[in-house]
Structures are given as structure tokens and as C-alpha cells.
């Protein structure tokens, strides 16, 4: 792993002062360094990668200084629109440095949901006409790499990408968080939810640890997986998947098990859900206030009121922080006339060992559809 302080100082010595992005597991050591050493006025953890590009552009427009944006390559889809229609040299010609974690690197084994994105990452740089380099895991090359990136961005008046393989900006072993702020962990909350919902409830679990915990809790409880959609990629879209299911399957309860950062990433779906009578839809946000699965960087989750936002969008919403209130909220929302949202404040952390989620995605969704597909609503 590179010396993160040395990398940051090289950026600073080349005039980089503003940092923005979405945390990534391949970049967790650098993201943690920024969170601990750069003031909030110069470091923004954005809702999504497109927003990060736009925030960085705004900084450039009023300072004239080259900004720095970090993200996982899976977030390039979110970033594409502002990359080609805002900061592109054919539009406003904004120089910026992109640090992109390379999940699905063809040279490294990774989960299935990262394979296509990993394969197309470097070709995509060519299609976007973005100069790029794969960062070497060599401290002696830091100064030259950073100098090249900054000079190229400023000369071309466009973004330049630094692609980061596994281990270059991330520690192999992440330290488990010490957190006793709330009585329930995410797994505790999922257990309460499973204990208090009808057996025919359809579940959509968000990207990250919620999918793993739901899957292995089902295993431990001797329960089938055929009512569960595990949204292993597409961060921020679990609630939209759940909405599509609830709208087309009005006779079945549908629960979205979401994370706070994932819910924030595409929160506009709140307003879409509110336009339809979806009394069978419950959006449950497992809110630990952190991007825990990628390093534990703080999110805005516990600093905002999902309850007020959801109520203002037409939901029936409540905030809870213990098992009894969570169980009561689930039962209380079972006969509502509109969509419901439960913001569950939980602590960070997970059991000391949770196996990786090695599943056959095609078989899992085929079984789900075999059990649950029939005529849509009239």
C-alpha cells in the first residue's frame, strides 16, 4: 500500500486543495486519511458520484484551482452525465483529478457484479477521451504520477483519471469499529424485521452487508431465499426495485432493507413512490450514519431526518432505535393506506466473521421469479 500521507502531500504540493467523492473499499485508507486530516470546507463526501463531479466543478468555477474527485468504478455510471455534459472540454473544460477504485480488475478475482464494470473501466476512459494511468504501488513514483496527472489535466483543460488496483490505497484488514451508540446492530434489526413480518413478504436488500446478513440469517433460520432479491450492485437503487415490485404485486407486502448512504444516493425515488398508492411498501433504512462496508467514513444519515423528508414526500414515517419500537412500527404500518418508511438508528459493526456472499445470481433470481411471478395488477 502507498504511503497515504505522502500521496496527499504530493497533491497539495501540486496545488490540489479541494477533495470530493464517494468512499470506496479499494480507496479506504486514502478516504480515511482525508476524513481525519482535511477540514470539511475542503473535503465533501457526496451523495453520489455525479454530484461529486458537479460539486468539484462548482469549486473550480469560483477558485480556478484543480479539484480532486474519488469514487469506485461502479460509480462511473452516475458520473457519466456531468463528465460528458458539464466538465468536458467541449462544454466548460474543467480540469480535475479522478481517483477511481478498480473493482472487477481482470487481473484480480472479484464478485460477479463487478466483472463487467471492471472489464470496461479502462476502455471507458478511452471513449470519454480521458487521459489515465494505473497507479503503481510504489512510493518512489508518487511525485511523478501526481505531477503528470495535474499537469495533464491543466494542459488539456479536462479530467484525468488515476486508476487504483486493490491494495494500493486500501488496507488489507480494516479495523472493526467500536460503537455503542445504539442498542441494535444491523443484523439485530434484520432479525427483528424477519420476526415481525408475514411469511409471504418480499424483500429487497441493499448493496453491501445487508445482503450478506439477510442471506446468512435465512440460512441460520432454515428459511428459503425465494422471497429475497439481493441487490449486490446498483447502489442506491434497492428502493426503486422494491417500488416496482410493490406496484406490480399489490397483494404482497414488500420491504426494502436499505442503508442510509444508499438511500441518500438516489433519494429522489421518495417523490416517485409518493405518487402511487403503495400501502404494501415499507422502506426500512438501517441507519448507522456511516459508509461502513467501505471503511466507515461518516455519512449524512444520522445528521438528517429521513422521517421528516419521507413524511413531506407523502409517506407515513417514523424513527426508532430499539427492537420493541421497530417491531411496533412494522405492525403499525401493516394497515396503512400509503407507503411507509422506518428510519432505524443502529450502531456500526458486524459479527467477527461473516462469509463472503458467493451465490449464483442467475439461480437466485430464477427461483424468486418461479415462486413469485404471475399476472400484474389490472
pLDDT tens per residue, range 77-92: 999 999 999 999 999 9
State the total domains in the chain. 2
Average pLDDT over residues 56-62: 99
Q: How far apart are CA 31 and CA 28, in angstroms?
A: 5
Q: Are residues 97 and 45 in the same domain?
A: yes
Helix, coil or strand: residue 333: helix
Checking if the pLDDT of 154 tops 70, the result is: yes
Q: Are residues 226 and 147 in the same domain?
A: no
Q: Radius of gyration of the chain from Cα atoms?
A: 21
Is 174 inside a domain boundary? no
Average pLDDT over residues 173-200: 87
Is 171 inside a domain boundary? no
Neighbours of 83 (CB within 10 A): 23
Cell numbers at 184, concatenated: 441494535
Domain extent at residue 206: 186-372
Q: How confident is the model at residue 378 (pLDDT cuts 50, 70, 90)?
A: very low
**pLDDT score for 334:** 76
Cell numbers at 100, concatenated: 477511481
Q: Are residues 54 and 195 in the same domain?
A: no
Runs of H (alpha helix) within the chain:
4-13, 28-37, 49-63, 76-85, 112-127, 142-156, 186-195, 209-221, 238-248, 260-265, 269-273, 306-312, 323-332, 361-372
Cell numbers at 284, concatenated: 426500512
Q: Are residues 222 and 355 in the same domain?
A: yes
Give the domain-ending residue among 164, 194, 217.
164
pTM value > 0.95: no
Contact between 217 and 191 under an 8 Å Cβ cutoff? The reply is yes
Q: Are residues 122 and 222 in the same domain?
A: no
Is 292 inside a domain boundary? yes
pLDDT above 70 as % of the chain: 97
pLDDT tens readout for residues 323-375? 999 999 999 887 778 999 999 999 998 887 788 888 899 999 999 999 999 75
Cell numbers at 183, concatenated: 442498542
The two beta strands, 254-259 and 43-45, are unpaired
Is 194 inside a domain boundary? yes
Q: Per mean pLDDT, which range of 61-70, 163-172, 236-245 is the poorest?
A: 163-172
Per DSSP, the chain holds a count of helices (H) and strands (E) of: 14, 14
List phi, psi (to 5°) of 115: -65, -50
The CATH number linked to 219 is: 3.40.50.970
Is 72 inside a domain boundary? yes
Neighbours of 202 (CB within 10 A): 23
Dihedral sign, Cα of residue 87, residue 98, residue 294, residue 120: positive
Q: Are residues 149 and 202 in the same domain?
A: no
Q: Are residues 230 and 97 in the same domain?
A: no
Q: Are residues 18 and 146 in the same domain?
A: yes
- Give bridge partners of residue 164 from the DSSP assignment: 101
Please tell me the chain's helix, strand, coil percentages from 3-state DSSP, rounded to the nearest 5.
45, 15, 40
Contact between 68 and 96 under an 8 Å Cβ cutoff? The reply is yes
pLDDT tens readout for residues 213-270? 999 999 999 999 999 999 999 999 999 999 999 999 999 999 999 999 999 999 999 9
Is 334 inside a domain boundary? yes
Checking if the pLDDT of 178 tops 90, the result is: no
Contact between 281 and 340 under an 8 Å Cβ cutoff? The reply is yes
Give the residue from 351, 296, 286 showing the smallest Cα distance to 24. 296
**pLDDT score for 293:** 75
Checking if the pLDDT of 377 tops 60, the result is: no
Higher pLDDT, 112 or 374: 112
Contact between 145 and 133 under an 8 Å Cβ cutoff? The reply is yes
Amino acid at each position: 500500500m502507498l504511503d497515504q500521507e505522502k500521496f496527499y502531500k504530493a497533491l497539495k504540493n501540486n496545488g490540489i486543495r479541494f477533495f470530493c467523492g464517494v468512499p470506496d473499499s479499494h480507496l479506504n485508507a486514502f478516504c480515511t486519511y482525508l476524513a481525519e486530516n482535511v477540514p470539511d470546507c475542503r473535503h465533501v463526501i457526496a451523495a453520489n458520484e455525479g454530484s461529486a463531479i458537479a460539486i468539484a466543478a462548482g469549486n473550480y468555477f469560483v477558485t480556478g484551482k484543480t479539484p480532486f474527485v474519488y469514487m469506485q468504478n461502479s460509480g462511473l455510471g452516475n458520473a457519466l452525465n456531468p463528465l460528458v455534459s458539464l466538465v468536458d472540454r467541449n462544454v466548460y473544460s474543467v480540469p480535475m483529478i479522478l481517483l477511481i477504485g478498480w473493482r472487477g480488475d481482470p487481473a484480480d478475482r472479484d464478485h460477479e457484479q463487478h466483472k463487467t464494470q471492471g472489464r470496461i473501466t479502462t476502455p471507458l476512459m478511452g471513449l470519454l477521451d480521458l487521459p489515465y494511468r494505473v497507479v503503481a504501488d510504489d512510493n518512489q513514483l508518487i511525485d511523478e504520477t501526481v505531477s503528470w496527472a495535474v499537469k495533464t489535466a491543466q494542459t488539456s483543460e479536462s479530467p484525468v483519471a488515476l486508476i487504483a488496483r486493490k491494495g494500493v490505497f486500501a488496507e488489507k484488514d480494516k479495523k472493526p469499529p467500536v460503537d455503542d451508540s445504539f442498542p441494535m446492530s444491523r443484523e439485530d434489526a434484520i432479525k427483528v424485521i424477519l420476526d415481525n413480518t408475514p411469511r409471504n413478504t418480499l424483500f429487497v436488500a441493499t448493496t453491501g452487508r445487508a445482503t450478506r446478513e439477510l442471506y446468512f440469517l435465512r440460512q441460520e433460520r432454515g428459511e428459503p431465499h425465494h422471497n429475497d432479491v439481493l441487490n449486490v450492485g446498483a447502489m442506491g437503487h434497492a428502493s426503486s426495485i422494491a417500488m416496482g415490485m410493490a406496484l406490480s404485486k399489490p397483494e404482497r407486502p414488500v420491504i426494502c432493507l436499505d442503508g442510509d448512504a444508499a438511500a441518500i444516493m438516489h433519494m429522489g425515488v421518495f417523490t416517485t413512490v409518493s405518487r402511487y398508492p403503495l400501502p404494501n411498501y415499507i422502506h426500512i433504512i438501517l441507519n448507522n450514519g456511516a459508509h461502513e462496508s467501505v471503511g466507515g467514513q461518516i455519512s449524512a444519515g444520522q445528521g438528517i431526518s429521513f422521517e421528516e423528508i419521507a413524511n413531506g414526500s407523502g409517506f407515513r414515517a417514523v424513527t426508532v432505535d430499539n427492537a420493541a419500537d421497530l417491531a411496533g412500527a412494522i405492525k403499525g404500518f401493516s394497515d396503512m393506506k400509503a407507503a411507509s418508511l422506518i428510519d432505524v438508528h443502529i450502531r456500526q459493526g458486524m459479527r467477527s466473521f461473516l462469509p463472503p456472499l458467493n451465490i449464483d445470481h442467475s439461480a437466485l433470481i430464477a427461483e424468486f421469479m418461479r415462486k413469485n411471478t404471475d399476472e400484474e395488477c389490472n
